[in-house]
Amino acid sequence: MQPTLADPWHGTTILTVRKGGTVAIGGDGQVSIGQTIVKQNARKVRRIAKGDVIGGFAGATADAFTLFERLEGKLEQYPGQLMRAAVELAKDWRTDRYLRRLEAMMIVADKDISLVLTGTGDVLEPEAGVMGIGSGGNYALAAARALADSDLDAETIVRRSLAIAADICVYTNRNVVVETLEADR
């Protein structure tokens, strides 16, 4: 099946795992247009809000950058309140004529909470601290759930799970970026 622009789940893998006081978000680096790989080392995971929030995106790159900028603006408006900022962004995303056309999904996290944001207005907290998005997201999610009860830390689980997804999903590669945050102890 050929991917369509209306399919924001297609063409990347982003995974978050929250375990042992650490949250990790990782993503692969492959950018594909149809069946062609156009870039292998894109950075789809980054820090925002002065490093207090990490996020990863699946979907159109320019759209994701727009959403990151908007989220950063909301975080300036509501400092230290990721949930509030995410809900306000989701409201704008769903109701604003320009934003409504953006085709991306995001996973964002701070030291306390992880969230998945969608253009349909969803702000979802991952079950058991694990969530994946993108074409390889379900493969990475399954692997992470299987590894969650092991002695591995959050970052290692993310890296191993993304490697498993890369073995299965042709739109996922092994050029991985992982960012982590530690909870206050």
* Beta-carbon-side half-sphere exposure of residue 66 (alpha carbons within 13 Å): 16
The residue assigned the tokens 């099946």 is: 1
The verdict on whether 118 is a catalytic residue reads no
Tell me if 179 sits within 8 A of 30, measured CB to CB.
Answer: no
181: nearest Cα among 74, 52, 67, 72: 52
Phi, psi of 143 (to 5 degrees): -65, -45
Cα–Cα distance, 50 to 118 (Å, whole number)? 23
Q: Which of 12, 13, 16, 172 is catalytic?
A: 12
Catalytic residues: 12
